Amino acid sequence: MAEYRYNFDEIEKKWQQYWDDKGLFKTEELPDADKYYLLEMFPYPSGKLHMGHVRNYSIGDVAARYFKMKGKNVLHPMGWDSFGLPAENAAIQKGVHPNIWTHDNMGEMREQLKQLGIAYDWDREIATCEPEYYRWMQWIFVQFFKNGLAYKKKNPVNWCPSCETVLANEQVVDGVCDRCGSAVGKKDLEQWYLKITDYAERLLADLDKLGDWPPKVKLMQKNWIGRSTGAEVDFSIEGFDKALRIFTTRPDTLFGVTYMVLAPEHPFVAELTAGGEYEAPVRAFVGKLQYMSDIDRTSTTLEKEGLFIGRCAVNPMNGARVPVYIANYVLMDYGTGAIMAVPAHDQRDFDFAVKYGLDIIPVVDPENPDIDTNDLKEAFVAEGLMINSGAFNGMRNREAIEKITEYLETNGIGKGSVNFRLRDWLISRQRYWGTPIPMIHCENCGWLPEKEENLPILLPTDVAFTGKGESPLTTSKTFSETICPECGGKAEREIDTMDTFLDSSWYFLRFCDARNEKVAFSKEKAAYWMAVDQYIGGVEHAILHLLYARFFTKFLYDIGMSPVDEPFTNLLTQGMVLKDGKKMSKSIGNVVSPGDIINRYGADTARLFILFASPPEKELEWSDAGVEGSYRFLNRVYRIVNELTDAVKTAGDGYKAVSEADKELDFAMNRAIKKVSDDIGGRFGFNTAISSIMEMVNALYKYKEEKAADAGLLKAAVTNLILILSPFTPHICEELWQITGHVDSLYGAKWPDYSEDALVRARAEIVVQINGKIKERVETESGLDREGLIAAVCADERVKRLIDGRDVLKLIAVPDKLINIVIQQ
RNA sequence: GCCGGAGUGGCGGAAUUGGCAGACGCACAGGACUUAAAAUCCUGCGGUUCGUGAGAAUCAUACCGGUUCGAUCCCGGUCUCCGGCACCA
């Protein structure tokens, strides 16, 4: 018997070349075809691909190739999120210009993606660091500004002392910089913000409009946006002419207020204490807190600390005088920066009241004899009946929330109100390798956007990378100097660059029309391709990237640019690739390099293993032995197809499954087609899809030993095997397709249908249970109805013996599967 | 602390709607081929008990309980692990 050697290296190079030469993956708008926009999160070009990339893009490629075979017009583009800190660090450490470093990396990673055989339309490749891209990034920023959604504000901001830059709240994880891990401090700086909070309501509500998104991701976004309903209430302060406005979610507890707390940064604090005996101690207290890092400031374990500021406020409900404090547990940037404190019904207020000896007045009765409202051990936060609350006594507190809010509105002391946890997005970065913010400051005219016809504002090249001090753009001799677009006088450019999360917030729109030099993207092309039908990427982007991208899309929709207001219809978040139960990382030393695996086993084996070892959304434990297994399977496929090639080439089309053996193979084949179709087209169950193909291959090995093997059936089996395996391992399948006499590429070949008839088995094995316990298996004809099934099963001698004259109380029959006989014990 | 998710053989995992638990693969063991090895092929492979044996009985999906003729699946409670948020008034 001939030996067939699976030369993956030769095969993969050959077909990659073929795809490239034929330009098979190029995509254009075809008005009559059903479009399918498939997108994987584009990578940061950090150097080489890691296994997480391989997994992400292999998953995407299976879907792309499958939907192409199903006749869809598939858009499957790739690009680079190529601005960012590592490039600048390389410049500082190695003296390489970020642009060179980045392009080297993109080149290397592009080659690796081609080696993996991912079907990308490279004609649409984009890199966010190219002026052709960031020109439109700047244009979009200008639109934000013109629509009042970009503004500059001086604020204490998160400051990473190591990266020497400002960070968004989202980039501070557990109080440390999410890039370098240094503890994040505070610094007062004037910074650009995008008003994402204007979109909070829609970003929340439209989560319901999304298609198939992991519920977990929706929930994370929901919590991040953090909508709270309640009321704003004005308290007067004795001897002070301005009202103190507070926000509360519990207007029902207004009668239980025993003190007030202002955030230390609250503008009233200085006014209220100026010139008095409290000024000095308050200033000391505020000073101590102001530059505390967020990790310390907001730690729940930090003891609550506060200071009386020498003033009293008046409760508008009952005229009660209550002292005014400042305290470390009240934040300036949520609500109004001031709270009413109700220690009886809020645990934080309770702790504070106990520490400082403040009154605790219960206003909601727990209706529980075990709780003594006059001697509370902790705050009572559940529902109950109103007490100590004047006209509202006796009401359920839930109802009192509404009634008291109405009362506030009628009497002009407050109103119903909604607050969000979401903050505006700080986008300024004191960095070089990012999109320059296209804003100009003029002494006379203030902040103005650069004229659109002058875009892009190019990054200057005469810049020093010292890694110290402020933005590197300040070291350019020419960059900041410009003229005012309004009055033509001398003016200065903004020297900060944008957070790179902006670049990735609209790249999916640019892919629709990647080479357009007139506009960011044409509305027509975007209308054809958008929204992204399937988006695939790591769950680590569940909040930031996905929220920002949704925000951008809504804004672009509002100004008439984007055809849709949600960018991603369906989302798949793939799991991490682990080795020895831990995330692969250089510091642990458990990294498996994709390049090594491809060299040793080929890209098809790497793809197959990664797709087979675990469902896409779950974590994947890397196993060298498992890779061997996948390699073995591809060898098995290669061998059997080669062995059967002659038979396949000479056989006619069509077959009749006559013998039992025919029917077995026919069944396995049709089941595999159905399973793979359902698994890819539906729930992305690639691991089970592959296992059904393995079963089919096992059936084929068994069948080919049959003396009376039907050539037509063998031909169908081999043909279908190659077709349904091809999305997973395209190179070997193209090779086998050619070997078995086909001329055209498999890319876009017609996906096979399956026969329902072949999936119906003639005989059924019926499980016989007595009182729910399995006792026997009886073979019957398949497709019997309840009566027929019971008759057939009860006719069986063994079943008769099991019943043995005892009373049958009940008979449960599940067609073709099971009978449960309930008898007297 | 709050909010989610998960727990199935030695391992990765399967069971898509409440109906044969452990598909498929890995590892392991035995065998065939070979001078030998690799490769390949065949067989076995959750636990316990009984049986010389074909086999039989029984337990088993983190733990305890419930609903049901029947529960990996539904409900209640407990434990463990993972993820998100974390003084948001």
**Contact, A759 CB vs strand B, < 7 Å:** no
| pLDDT above 80 for A166 | no
Mean pLDDT, residues A139-145: 98
Phi-psi region of A84 (alpha: psi -120 to 50; beta: other; left: phi over 0): left
Mean pLDDT, residues A750-759: 92
| pLDDT above 50 for A1 | no
Which nucleotide is closest, CA of A329 to its C1'? B87
Mean pLDDT, residues A600-613: 96
Three-state SS string across A216-260, please? Answer: HHHHHHHHHHCEEEEEEEEEEECCCCCCEEEEECCHHHHHHCCEE
- Is A125:A79 a contact under the CB 8 Å cutoff? yes
- A128 burial (CB, 10 Å; 0-12 / 13-18 / 19+) is buried
**Contact, A577 CB vs strand B, < 7 Å:** no
pLDDT value at residue A291: 64
Chain A residues 766-805, Cβ below 7 A from strand B = 767, 769, 771-775, 777
| pLDDT above 70 for A301 | no
Q: How far apart are the first and last CA of chain A?
A: 62
Average pLDDT, chain A: 91
Of A640, A746, A786, the closest CA to residue A65 belongs to A746
- pLDDT greater at residue A38 or residue A293: A38
**Contact, A347 CB vs strand B, < 7 Å:** no
Could you tell me the distance in Å between the CA of residue A815 and the C1' of nucleotide B49?
35
Which CA-bearing residue is nearest the C1' of B24? A691
CA angle at residue A59 from A612 to A45, to 5 degrees?
A: 125
Phi-psi region of A446 (alpha: psi -120 to 50; beta: other; left: phi over 0): left
Which nucleotide is closest, CA of A770 to its C1'? B69
CA dihedral A359, A360, A364, A367 (to 10 degrees): -140
| pLDDT above 80 for A306 | yes
| pLDDT above 70 for A145 | yes
Could you tell me the distance in Å between the CA of residue A420 and the C1' of nucleotide B79?
36
**Contact, A405 CB vs strand B, < 7 Å:** no
Three-state SS string across A751-778, please? Answer: CCCCCCHHHCCCEEEEEEEECCEEEEEE
Three-state SS string across A58-90, please? Answer: HHHHHHHHHHHHCCCEEECCCEECCCCHHHHHH
Could you tell me the distance in Å between the CA of residue A749 and the C1' of nucleotide B42?
37
Could you tell me the distance in Å between the CA of residue A684 and the C1' of nucleotide B16?
12
Distance CA A322, CA A340 (A): 10
Distance CA A294, CA A186 (A): 8
- Is A117:A729 a contact under the CB 8 Å cutoff? no
- φ, ψ for residue A711, nearest 5 deg: -65, -40
- Each residue's pLDDT tens digit, A345-394: 999 999 999 999 999 999 999 888 888 888 888 899 888 999 999 999 99
* DSSP for A781-807, written as a single string: ETT--HHHHHHHHHTSHHHHHHHTT--
| pLDDT above 60 for A2 | no
| pLDDT above 80 for A755 | yes
Note the strand B nucleotides within 7 A of protein beta carbons: 1, 3-5, 11-16, 19-21, 23-27, 39-42, 57-58, 69-71, 83-89
**Contact, A229 CB vs strand B, < 7 Å:** no
Of A637, A669, A654, A649, the closest CA to residue A740 belongs to A649
Q: Give whole-number Cα distances, A348 to A298, A322, A345, A382, in Å.
A: 13, 17, 9, 15
- A617 token code pair: 């959304």
List residues bridging with A154 in a β-sheet.
Answer: A190
Which residues fall within 8 angstroms of residue A599, CB to CB, at 6 or more apart? none
Could you tell me the distance in Å between the CA of residue A297 and the C1' of nucleotide B59?
56
| pLDDT above 60 for A469 | no
Which residues fall within 8 angstroms of residue A426, CB to CB, at 6 or more apart? A157, A158, A166, A167, A168, A169, A191, A192, A193, A499
| Bond prior to A531 in cis (omega within 30° of 0) | yes
Which nucleotide is closest, CA of A224 to its C1'? B85
Distance CA A533, CA A76 (A): 11
**Contact, A664 CB vs strand B, < 7 Å:** no
Could you tell me the distance in Å between the CA of residue A629 and the C1' of nucleotide B35?
29
- Is A166:A434 a contact under the CB 8 Å cutoff? no
Could you tell me the distance in Å between the CA of residue A679 and the C1' of nucleotide B18?
23
**Contact, A574 CB vs strand B, < 7 Å:** no
Chain A residues 354-393, Cβ below 7 A from strand B = none
- H runs (alpha helix) in A586-729: 594-601, 603-612, 624-650, 660-678, 686-703, 711-725
Mean pLDDT, residues A69-95: 93
Distance CA A234, CA A602 (A): 70
Which nucleotide is closest, CA of A327 to its C1'? B87
Could you give the ipTM of this predicted complex? 0.94
pLDDT value at residue A144: 98
Which nucleotide is closest, CA of A423 to its C1'? B88
- Tell me which of A264-268, A461-465, A663-667 is least confident: A461-465
Tokens 């876009």 appear where? Answer: A748
Chain A residues 165-184, Cβ below 7 A from strand B = 169, 173
- Each residue's pLDDT tens digit, A20-32: 999 999 999 999 9
In this prediction, residue A758 has a pLDDT band, given cuts at 50, 70 and 90, of confident
pLDDT value at residue A293: 62
- φ, ψ for residue A24, nearest 5 deg: -65, -25
- Each residue's pLDDT tens digit, A495-514: 999 999 999 999 999 999 99
pTM above 0.90, yes or no: yes
Distance CA A386, CA A397 (A): 6
Q: Give whole-number Cα distances, A532 to A240, A428, A535, in Å.
A: 56, 29, 6
Could you tell me the distance in Å between the CA of residue A523 and the C1' of nucleotide B36?
71
CA angle at residue A700 from A698 to A704, to 5 degrees?
A: 125
Count how many residues are written for chain A: 825
**Contact, A253 CB vs strand B, < 7 Å:** no
Greatest CA separation for chain A? 108
Of A138, A148, A141, A149, the closest CA to residue A195 belongs to A149
- A129 token code pair: 């660091």
Distance CA A116, CA A16 (A): 9
Which nucleotide is closest, CA of A625 to its C1'? B26
Question: Residue A666 is which amino acid?
Answer: D
Could you tell me the distance in Å between the CA of residue A159 and the C1' of nucleotide B15?
52
Which nucleotide is closest, CA of A419 to its C1'? B88
**Contact, A690 CB vs strand B, < 7 Å:** yes
Tokens 């909040």 appear where? Answer: A543
CA angle at residue A615 from A614 to A616, to 5 degrees?
A: 110
pLDDT value at residue A95: 87
In this prediction, residue A589 has a pLDDT band, given cuts at 50, 70 and 90, of confident
